[in-house]
Structure 1
Amino acid sequence: MIADGAEDEEKWLAAGIAGIQQNAFYMHRALDSNNLKDALKYSAQMLSELRTSRLSPHKYYELYMRAFDELRKLEIFFKEETSRGCSMIELYELVQHAGNILPRLYLLCTAGSVYIKSKEAPAKDILKDLVEMCHGIQNPVRGLFLRSYLSQVSKDKLPDIGSEYEGDSETVIDAVEFVLQNFTEMNKLWVRMQYQGPTREKEKREKERSELRDLVGKNLHVLGQIEGVDLEMYKETVLPRVLEQVVNCKDELAQYYLMDCIIQVFPDEYHLQTLETLLNACPQLQASVDVKTVLARLMERFSNYAASGVEVLPELFQVEAFAKLNNAIDKVIAAQENMPIVGVVTLYASLLAFTLQVHPDRLDYVDQILVS
């Protein structure tokens, strides 16, 4: 039965790819003859192949990538249309005539990308429109890939400080708000994937979800690359909003992966200045989340940061990192009553390695750890 299912899926994928290739052929002919009407018609038919519900996320990704490559050609054509005198606002409205909502939104994101580049309208207005319009797709897999596409085509067009798309005021807030909103919706869709299908296939779905985790995590990487996200904005807006989503989703896979992303993506200085906020989230995670590994990686980062030069040590002393980490470990162990003894040992071993790196002269700290 499994073999039959796999064979059927290969057939469905082959049929989807054939549909994309056939419509892409006619789209190319329309592009070559500067026929905008036919280009939109065949690109919409091509994108209709992404409406399928028959493919696993892994196979759907293959189909999506075929469509993605074709959309890059369409984007180039849209840019050329503007140079031929076509108004971007007219083009932006024209693509919304596509009959089905999924092709319509892919075309809208593609046109929106060119619209931002044309600077005929503020980037923040177009981005807000796009991220809200994507609410129209609530199927978890289709919605996740659509929003991933939006993230991909917009990441170099955010109204950041020093960017050519920087507006008059509070532009960084607009950029951050866009990415946070897209991240939140993508995480909700990703979490909802676990409820699609029979209970007996839960393990298979979790494996498929794990394969798609980077689609969600890329949003945090984009946030980490926004020049205007200084410590204050990270402390007041970015971290609280991200942690709120992490804690509230109550999903083991998402919580573990996203906590690890936060630790890896943002600078050590930011982690130190927001240490209490970050650590307070740990006991609120699901009991099944591997918090010991999350904390161990955070302490490893701090140890490496301390090893980078003596000039950073006062910063670690000032925020009382040892006391906060020690307290957080106690809270996590109390919250996760069934934590195996090896997990407890791993946590304190990581704290000991951190202490020996940062406070080599504080034997009382070592004693505290050993007594625990």
Structure 2
Amino acid sequence: MLATEGMEDEEKWLAEGIAAIQHNAFYMSRALDSDNLREALKYSALLLSELRTSKLSPHKYYELYMRAFDELRKLEMFFREEDRHGCSVIDLYELVQHAGNILPRLYLLCTVGSVYIKSKEAPAKDILKDLVEMCRGIQHPTRGLFLRSYLAQISRDKLPDLGSEYEGEGDTVMDAVDFVLQNFTEMNKLWVRMQHNGPVRLKEKLDKERSELRDLVGKNLHVLSQIEGVDLEMYKDVVLPRVLEQVVNCKDEIAQYYLMDCIIQVFPDEYHLQTLETLLGACPQLQPAVDVKTVLSRLMERLSNYADSSPEVLPDFLQVEAFAKLSSAIGKVIEAQVDMPVVGAISLYVSLLTFTLRVHPDRLDYVDQILGACVKKLSGKAKLEDSKATKQVVALLSAPLEKYTDIVTVLTLSNYPRVMDHLDAGTNKIMATIIIESIMKNDTCVSTADKVEVLFELIKGLIKELDGTTTDEVYR
């Protein structure tokens, strides 16, 4: 009942806020039509004051914000036409700073700032620096997050990046990068702080609301990835270290998981390959609750696809020792996250094996190394009873059989039977059947007595004596 009443109250508050914005927008539009700057500023400040509310959830606040955003676009067009309002953009930039309340004042300042940059009457970097610093005046998590989102939106086509009309006279791509990184850092801090915006008993609800707003923060990384002039060197030396510093230091599992995934998705594959050690170095430092296995799996999938689509880069994988770095990182993550279930660890080895079979198919020693790491993780434990973990082990053992036609050579890997030993009797039979089917499908010739012995050892669960009992000696 209380939840229903709360939702009804929120709908009422939202409706009241929208009505107030529409009311003031009507008078603002009338002032714009009559070229009355003073009245336009008065009513725009009044409609923006509705964004000062603390009554709405982030989702509902977004609806209110979008209403105000649409009106600000009209205001910006008016500000651009000096002959209509008779005020220079420099004077206008000063004038809006006298608005009564700080939140409307900063929205108006960002709006005029956009016009100011476009006029080129001052270096873009100076205005951007001023705006990103002034926005510190709003420390309320939701209000501050949306204000900075607005700043990011109105500035994205006015950054002094390489080849931009705003580059030059001291403005460089580094200024563009600094601005976006600073805004990103402040937005992430506000986003993380939202978790404290309500009682602990509502944590699940707050986390859901926060997740709905993650793209506001992530858009900064999209902008960074699209800035002309952010080459591999700048990404390696400036962008990635500063982004990872924020990711690690925020110590928030929702932010860490989302931002790590965002980094992997938005920046080029080549950059990931050449900065693999730095990116992987952050993984063991993440909070224990972060789903690192999914982050690493997605990274390996991207790198595998990169190798598939651009075979000419395969020597680069060897040069940067991609396999060794990934293997080491996975080991450190498993070691750091002592509570990680066995299924999580095995799934990481499955992802690493999939990567290896696609990028280094000629390196059976890598395959055996992965199987050995799996054996180490399973050692000292009873036969696997967890169905999910068992399924992952079967996937691990099946992957080489699907990749190679010389099945028996795969089976001679020293760690292959050692992994199989951890399967229960029923699953062992299933795995033995998979092995036989793979051999038959590939018309594999078992050419030596040693290989026959290895094969029979692996499929012994299927071999029975005449009396129906299983024996380990029947083929000897």
Alignment TM class, shorter chain as reference: over 0.9
Structure 2 equivalent of residue 298 of structure 1: 299
Within a 5 Å distance, the mapping from 1:67-106 to structure 2 comes to 67-81=68-82, 86-106=87-107
Structure 2 equivalent of residue 113 of structure 1: 114
Q: Is the 8 A contact 2:124 2:171 kept in 1?
A: no
Structure 2 equivalent of residue 36 of structure 1: 37
Alpha-carbon separation, structure 2, partners of 1:253 and 1:143: 19
- Residues 277-286 or 83-92, more deviating: 83-92
Q: 1:104 to 1:170 in 2, by over 3 A?
A: closer
**1:158 maps to amino acid:** L
Structure 2 equivalent of residue 223 of structure 1: 224
Of structures 1 and 2, the one with the larger relative CO (CA 8 A, separation 6+) is 1
Q: How far off is 1:169 after superposition? A: 3.7
Alpha-carbon separation, structure 1, partners of 2:24 and 2:310: 59
Q: How far off is 1:189 after superposition? A: 0.3
Q: How far off is 1:82 after superposition? A: 5.8
1:252 aligns with 2:253: yes
Secondary structure of the 2:237 match is helix
1:315 aligns with 2:312: no
Q: Is the 8 A contact 2:125 2:171 kept in 1?
A: no
Q: How far off is 1:167 after superposition? A: 2.0
Q: How far off is 1:371 after superposition? A: 1.1
Q: 1:70 to 1:256 in 2, by over 3 A?
A: same
Kindly provide the CA deviation profile for residues 304-357 of structure 1, in whole angstroms up to 9, marking residues without a partner as x.
000003211111111010000000000000000111111111111111111111
Structure 1 equivalent of residue 166 of structure 2: 165
Structure 1 equivalent of residue 57 of structure 2: 56
Kindly provide the CA deviation profile for residues 243-295 of structure 1, in whole angstroms up to 9, marking residues without a partner as x.
00000000000000000000001101111111101001000000110000000
Q: Is the 8 A contact 1:255 1:289 kept in 2?
A: yes
Alpha-carbon separation, structure 1, partners of 2:9 and 2:79: 37
Aligned pair count? Answer: 372
**1:305 maps to amino acid:** Y
Structure 1 equivalent of residue 327 of structure 2: 326
Alpha-carbon separation, structure 2, partners of 1:81 and 1:201: 50
Q: Is the 8 A contact 1:98 1:104 kept in 2?
A: yes
Kindly provide the CA deviation profile for residues 194-228 of structure 1, in whole angstroms up to 9, marking residues without a partner as x.
01111111111000000000000000000000011
Q: 1:322 to 1:83 in 2, by over 3 A?
A: farther
Alpha-carbon separation, structure 1, partners of 2:94 and 2:168: 23
Alpha-carbon separation, structure 1, partners of 2:66 and 2:309: 41
**1:94 maps to amino acid:** L
Q: How far off is 1:83 after superposition? A: 7.2
Alpha-carbon separation, structure 2, partners of 1:330 and 1:58: 40
**2:37 maps to amino acid:** L
Question: TM-score, structure 2 length as denominator?
Answer: 0.77
**1:13 maps to amino acid:** L
Structure 1 equivalent of residue 237 of structure 2: 236
Alpha-carbon separation, structure 1, partners of 2:280 and 2:317: 15
Structure 1 equivalent of residue 336 of structure 2: 335
Q: Is the 8 A contact 2:160 2:171 kept in 1?
A: no
Structure 1 equivalent of residue 66 of structure 2: 65
Q: How far off is 1:84 after superposition? A: 6.5
Secondary structure of the 2:81 match is helix
Alpha-carbon separation, structure 2, partners of 1:345 and 1:354: 14
Alpha-carbon separation, structure 2, partners of 1:342 and 1:254: 24
Structure 1 equivalent of residue 134 of structure 2: 133
Alpha-carbon separation, structure 1, partners of 2:127 and 2:96: 14
Alpha-carbon separation, structure 2, partners of 1:167 and 1:347: 48
Secondary structure of the 1:256 match is helix
Secondary structure of the 2:339 match is coil
**1:93 maps to amino acid:** E
- State which structure, 1 or 2, has the greater radius of gyration over its C-alpha atoms: 2
Q: Is the 8 A contact 2:51 2:143 kept in 1?
A: yes
Q: 1:83 to 1:123 in 2, by over 3 A?
A: farther
Q: Is the 8 A contact 1:82 1:88 kept in 2?
A: no
Over the matched positions of the two proteins, sequence identity in percent amounts to: 81
Q: Is the 8 A contact 2:79 2:85 kept in 1?
A: no
**1:326 maps to amino acid:** S
**1:365 maps to amino acid:** Y
Structure having the higher helix fraction is 1
Question: TM-score, structure 1 length as denominator?
Answer: 0.99
Structure 1 equivalent of residue 194 of structure 2: 193
Structure 2 equivalent of residue 268 of structure 1: 269
Q: Is the 8 A contact 1:158 1:165 kept in 2?
A: yes
Secondary structure of the 1:250 match is coil
Alpha-carbon separation, structure 1, partners of 2:85 and 2:101: 28
